[in-house]
Every structure is written in structure tokens, then in C-alpha cells.
A and B are shown apart, each in its own frame.
Chain A
Amino acid sequence: MIWSLLVAFGVFFILTNGLPPALVYAERKLAAGIQNRVGPNRVGPYGLLQPIADAIKLLFKEDVTPRGADKFLFSIAPILSFVPAALAFAIIPFGNYAGEVRLQVADLNVGILFATAIISLGAYGIAFGGWASNSKFPLLAAVRSSAQLISYEVVMALALVAMIMTYGTVRTEVMVLAQAVPLAETGPFAYLPAWGVFQQPIAFVLFVICCFAENNRAPFDMPECEAELVGGYHTEYSSMKFALFFQGEYIAMTTMSALIVTIFLGGWHFPGMDVADHSVGMGILTILVFMAKLLGVLFFYIWVRWTLPRFRYDQVMRLCWKGCIPIALVNIAITGIIGVLYS
């Protein structure tokens, strides 16, 4: 029991706290590659120590609280954007069993619902940060961000409803097991695993779009569009408070990617594996498979960010309410009809 907790929390800690610096480095390197540049290469071999240099710099910067700012909210906002993102990771099964150890921090019976509820709390971090700064641009960013997050949460929930109908459960562990079977008994699809992306491609696309919007990542990075809002909600932040915002953003990205992997890309499952094999070696292998998928999705996040220009604000809203929501509703209806016909 104590071992399972230690292993689970160890991997959890690495994923939520070790990954963001690596992601910052990867982001800068990939951005450089896309833009035909070199990227960080001065600090350490291949610039690998750049994130550490950045962190040290941020630690030694002056921690400024603007005059007239609401001190309590101003201090608590970065924490509010950091904690929920890391917390939601708890329900992600990042591997099968390793011996007796269940590779998941918490197997909640409300599963996905817990994740969506907790991730929504991240909006408070942005809203409070913008409000408490006593500055007009962060406030505008906060207002925009709140509207955007509320809108896209609707689409996200609708996409999830279709998936819950498909799997017949909200428990993430059971969802992964439901994907660990062939897509069809016979025919050309028998070689494909029953991953969510093959069963529900439309829900997958919608969910990925929502993840970008929920994380305030390009092309939906409304809260921090430099051209209009200076730096967005963290304009007035400096030092480690800013760093916490920054890290929260990357952890939210990791958590969202993990959700995509769990719901749509088969979690820790890979074709040809024996789900009943609970040996330690198999457990480690499943962790590696999960990590590979996670890094693939994160790569996609970065890739998209440096490819697409930012949407205009009204375009973001139109895409959500007039584009995604009708499609999501139709998708649910089709899923329901197929479910009734085949049961």
C-alpha cells in the first residue's frame, strides 16, 4: 500500500513539476526550428540548462506588488492557476499495474467529472490576477479569458458526453480498459485498437480545440495577446509569482494532454499488449507508452502554437458558439442513435 502511494506520487510529481522546465526548453527549441533559428544553445550543452538559468533569474528579481492592488487576491491568483492544473492530474492512469501497485494517484468514481470541475477552477487564477492588479489591461484580459473559458467548457463537456456514452463510464481507469480491445471483431478494422480517436473522431477534434482554448494557448491565447493587452493578465506580475503563472500554464497543458491521451489515445494501452499482465516490467512499459503519447500530444501543442496566428476575439467566440457547439450536439445525437441501434 505504502509502495503504491510512493510510486504513484513519484511519477505524479515528476510529470507535474519536472515536465514544465523541459517543456519550456522544448518550446523554445521547436519554435526556433520552425522559424529557421537555432534557439537557446549557450547555457550548458545544447542550452539544456537554460530553464534553470531562467528560474534563477526569476528568483532574484524584485517581487513587485502594484500600488492599489488587492494584496490578498494578487498573491493567491498564481497559486490558483497552479494548483488545480496539477490536482486534476491525480485521476490520470499513467500505467497499468506494476505488481501490486496501481499506477494512478486516485481512481475516483466521478473520474472525468472531477477533472473538468477542477480544471475550470484555473479560470479563477486568471480572473483574480487580472482583477487584483489594479491595471486596465490585465482586467480586460481577465474578462476575455473568463468569457472564453466558459464558452469552451460547454463544448468540452459536450464532447465528453459523447465519450461517456461510448464507454458507458466516467471512471478513467475503466475508460482505458474499454479502449484496450480491437475496434472490430473482423474485417479491416480488426487491427485497429478501439481507441477513442477511432471511435469518435469528431469528438476528438472538438476536444483538442477546446484543450487549446482552455489552456489559453495559441491560436486562442486571448488573455495574453501582446499586441492588444500588453502581457495580458500577468502584466503586473514579476519574480516567482510570474513564474508560478508560467508553470501553471505548462502544467495545465500537460494535464490536458494527459486527458486527451487517456480519453482518446488509449491511455497506457498499446496494440498487442496483454491487459491482464500485471508484472513490474509490463507496468514500466505502460508508463513509457503513456509518456510517449503524452509527449506526442505536447509536441502537437507546441507545433500548433508556432504555426497558427491568433484568432480575433469575435472569431474565437463565433467558432465556439456557431461552429463547435452545433457539431458537438449533432455528434451526441448520432452517438445516441448508434448506441440504441447496436445494443
Chain B
Amino acid sequence: MAGPATTHAPETPSQTGIGERLFLPSVVKGLLSTLRHMMFGESFTVEYPEESVYAVNKFPNDENRRFRGEHILVKDDQGREKCVACMLCSAACPAVCITIVPEEVDWEDRDRRPKVFEIDMLRCIYCGFCEEACPCDAIRLTPAFYQVSRTREEKVYDKEKLLNDDPDDPRGKYQSPIHPGK
């Protein structure tokens, strides 16, 4: 460097063009953009009591499936639970809300299944650790989030409730065929 050292910061070149420095052309551009939204933009609002959150899909690519809601137990192609009662999920569970009682079966592909599989939804913190711990993809968290019940007992989900495969049910429709995005 030839000249004496200077303490001044170098002048940063202006990043904006003449159009932006005059404001008005950019303003017109912005106005046209908002007008487009006003005239043609579709509302993203889910009008809750009238519209079901599960029925409408206002989000492209079904983003809301990433939501961690209530669990299901997945069935295999013969309609049996995939779970082999390895207890990994209940071991991983930080809230200790999964109760499993295994029993022996004499199926060709496995010899264990849960006799009792209960999740206490009142204790569950929906962390998804059970889903991560499962080696068989047998337990999943679905986007279902309605947490309404009249009694505490209702919120202890047994095997029958967890194996729900009703395609109209917010949880059941995530049974088949394969959880998209997995």
C-alpha cells in the first residue's frame, strides 16, 4: 500500500440501483405484488370449528405431517402389529408413559408380541424418542392433536386404540401404506 495507513473504513459501494434509490419504482413493484396476493392469493387460514384441520390440506407437500401428535402402532401386511415387544421404546421414553407386557407367539417371522401395549397420553411429552428407538418401524407419531376426553382413563391408549387403521381417523390414515417421508 502506497499511501499512509488510514483509520477510515473503506467506503462501501452502494448495493442499490437507481430504481431503488428513487423509491417510487420499487414501491410500484411492491404494490403490484400485494395486489396480486389480494386478488388471486388463496387464504391459508383453516377456519377451525367449521373446517377440519385434518380434512383440508392448505400446505403444499403436507408439511403438517411433521407435527408430533398422538401415536399409532403400525400393522404389517397381514394385519398384525409389527411390534416385537423389545421394550426399546419404553426404555427410551423420558416420561415413562409406555407400558408393555410381552407374550410368546408361534408366528413364522417372530416369536414375541405385546400382550399389553399402553401409552398414557397424559404423561406423554410427544418427544418422538419412541419412534426413533423402534427398530421395526412399529410405533409412529401422527399429526393428530385433538386432546379431548371426559375421563383420565380414556387417555390411556390401549393396543386396540393404538392399532387403529380407520382411513377416516386422523391417526388411522397414517397406517398405510408407508408413512410418507420416512
Contact = CB atoms under 8 A, between A and B. Distances in A.
B63 interface: no
B31 A36 contact: no
A36 B43 CA distance: 4
Interface in A1-60: 30, 32-38, 41
| Dominant SS among interface residues on chain B | helix
A303 B34 CA distance: 8
Interface string B39-52: 00111110100000
B30 A36 contact: no
Interface residues of B, number: 16
Contact of B34 (A34, A37, A205): A34
B33 interface: yes
A306 interface: yes
A33 B38 contact: yes
Interface in B46-100: 47
Given A37-B43, A37-B44, A38-B45, A303 B37 contact: no
B35 interface: yes
B2 to A, nearest CB: 36
B44 A307 contact: no
Q: Which 4 A-B pairs have the closest CB atoms?
A: A33-B38, A38-B45, A307-B34, A34-B34
Size category of the A interface is 10 to 19
Contacts of A30: 38
B31 A33 contact: no
A306 B43 contact: no
A184 interface: no
B27 interface: yes
Nearest to A30: B38
Nearest to B36: A34
Given A304-B31, A307-B31, A38 B37 contact: no
Interface of A: 30, 32-38, 41, 205, 303-304, 306-308, 319
Nearest to B38: A33
Contact of B37 (A33, A304, A308, A319): A33
A38 B46 CA distance: 9
A34 B43 contact: no
Nearest to B32: A307
Given A38-B47, A205-B24, A307 B41 contact: no
A36 B41 contact: yes
A34 B38 contact: yes
Contact of A38 (B23, B24, B34, B43): B43
A34 B23 CA distance: 21
Interface of B: 23-24, 27, 30-31, 33-35, 37-38, 41-45, 47
8 contacts: A33-B41, A34-B34, A36-B41, A36-B42, A36-B43, A38-B45, A303-B38, A304-B27
A256 to B, nearest CB: 18
Contacts of A37: 43-45
A34 B31 CA distance: 10
A185 to B, nearest CB: 32
A270 B31 CA distance: 26
A248 to B, nearest CB: 27
Most buried by A among B24, B37, B47: B37
A320 to B, nearest CB: 13
Contacts of A36: 37, 41-44
Nearest to B47: A38
A39 to B, nearest CB: 9
Contact of A35 (B27, B37, B42, B47): B37
B101 to A, nearest CB: 49
Contacts of B27: 304, 307-308
A80 B34 CA distance: 35
A35 B45 CA distance: 10
A308 B32 CA distance: 12
Nearest to B22: A323
Contacts of A33: 37-38, 41
B31 to A, nearest CB: 5
A251 B38 CA distance: 25
Contacts of A307: 27, 30-31, 33-34
Contacts of A303: 31, 34-35, 38
A306 to B, nearest CB: 6
Contacts of B41: 33-34, 36
A12 to B, nearest CB: 31
